[in-house]
Amino acid sequence: MGFTIIPICKKCGYQTKAVSVGGGKLNHRTQCGAPALNTESNEIEEINLYNYKSSVIVKRRILYLFYRNVTVEKTDDRYIPYYEPKMFVNDKKIGNHHWNNKYYKKSKNFCPKCKSFNLDFADGGIWFD
Ligand SMILES: [Zn+2]
């Protein structure tokens, strides 16, 4: 089911602890781990995509007089998940780690320390369910 990856930068040596991707058999409805850049601390962290994205219902005005409830998706602005296209170089030759419909490049990801696209997501070697 889920697995771990370790972010390592080939250029500056930046590395973090292993990040869990996806969820296990028992918690996959509430837990979906993903690597993301914390833009406040400038570190790569594991986030739970279920907390990152939330749906909120807002009232939107239609034709001056009427209001309708509209569901909009809200994300936590502090984090940028690594499946976002701006977080990696889209080189087709590079393999992916994937979970559900989310893909993470095995290399050429953005490194928050040296600001280059030299970060690998190495296999953490741990599978969990
Ligand atoms: Zn780096």
Output the CA 121–ligand 1 centroid distance in Å: 12
Output the CA 2–ligand 1 centroid distance in Å: 26
Name the residue among 3, 1, 13 with its Cα closest to residue 120: 13
Provide the residue ranges of all domains of the chain, joining segments of one domain with +: 2-128
Task: Name, in order, each residue with C-beta under 8 angstroms of 76's C-beta and a sequence gap of 6 or more.
Answer: 47, 51, 52
Percent of the chain past pLDDT 70, that is, above it, reads: 100
Output the CA 59–ligand 1 centroid distance in Å: 44
Output the CA 8–ligand 1 centroid distance in Å: 8
- Label residue 126 by pLDDT band (50, 70, 90): confident
pLDDT per residue over 40-53, tens digit each?
999 999 999 999 98
Residue 15 clears pLDDT 90, i.e. is over it = yes
Q: Which helix (H) or strand (E) holds 52?
A: helix 49-52
